[in-house]
Amino acid sequence: MGCPYLSSQSLQPPLSCPHKPSTAFKPLYATLNCPNSTQPWLKSVNLNGVVARPGTENDYAAVRVAIEKIIPNESYDDGSIGPVLLRLAWHASGTYDQKTQTGGSNGSTMRYPLEAQDEANRGLEHARKFLEPIKFQFPWITYADLWTLAGVVALKFCGGPSAPWSPGRKDYEDALNVPPNGRLPDGALGAQHFRDIFYRMGFNDQEIVALCGAHNMGRCHPDRSGWDGPWVPNPTTFSNTYFKLLLNEDWHKKELGNGLFQFMDEDEEIMMLPIEMTLLEDKSFRPWVEVYAKDKELFFKDFAAAFGKLIELGVRRDKNGIAMVNYINKTKI
């Protein structure tokens, strides 16, 4: 007998279903975990235009291909979900605290309300939803591995370098070890904030500037960050254009209707955040901006290394390559 709460019209059980996920994060493939479900339609389902069928376990090459297929999306932003997938991997990893060895990409803790509702993560629910067909197709891959792999795939698909990636991350079973809010960068602040955030994770000034180059892709949204617009004219292609524009445009400060400030080019077609202008003002940051504006190959090399380091933060592996839990307020074993 199938679960009486489920129908073939939806992959999402109603809130009254006793088999629904126990957390606020409810994956679209949730019915796969229903202990009474025998629905034949679960063997193949169309999710967001992607026909998903179970994939071979540990076939990460197949996962990469599946991710590539969903990146072009004319109904989202500039026709690509690549930028928001890159942002998901970045934010899922950027909570790491080197001193306490908590946070980071292990655990996929953004599945839980505390992290999902962090103001810095607004809009990332779209990225997580876009990846649900992949999770349905390859249920053996953890969210923590899927989110970081999606960022690596998106980076390469959009013209960027190949960043190193290895599987083995866990999905935490509860919210006990979700890191506190406030560990991600605030675009309204300055150079010292940059260093506070990135030094906490173990990065140096060169790596800070390299990682800022992620803003070669994507745009800000008023209903998410509060800022508005892309950093570069072609926000779905990874390049070193961000650094060239940062150096060479005539930027002017503009106050938005919500009270936030951002910097606009002369035609007000592209923007920079207040914190990014400190890359020009700081005597340690600016030389790297100048170098990356001139040398695309070096920037790609350095970004790949820094991004690979970022998505590995918080992944303490055992002898089999499997990540161990990063306990909050508890002795780690």
Supply the residues annotated as catalytic: 91, 231
Asked whether the beta carbons of 82 and 157 are under 8 A apart, the reply is: yes
Distance of alpha carbon 68 from alpha carbon 82, whole angstroms: 9
φ, ψ at 219 (rounded to 5°): -155, 165
Angle at 123 between CA 118 and CA 127, to 5 degrees: 115
Q: Classify 171 as helix, strand or coil.
A: strand
**Cα separation of 3 and 297, whole Å?**
55
Q: For residue 309, give the nearest of 160, 92, 163, 206 by alpha carbon.
A: 163
- Name 254's bridge partners: 262
What sections of the chain are H helices per DSSP? Answer: 60-70, 82-93, 113-116, 124-130, 132-137, 143-157, 191-201, 205-212, 241-248, 274-281, 286-294, 296-311
Ordered DSSP codes for 238-293: -SSHHHHHHHHS--EEEE-TTS-EEEE-TTSSSEE-HHHHHHHHSTTTHHHHHHHH
* Full strand arrangement of the beta sheet holding 252-255: 252-255, 261-264, 271-272
Grouping H, G, I as helix, E, B as strand and the rest as coil, residue 147 is: helix
What are residue 317's DSSP bridge partners?
323
The helix/strand/coil state of 115 is helix
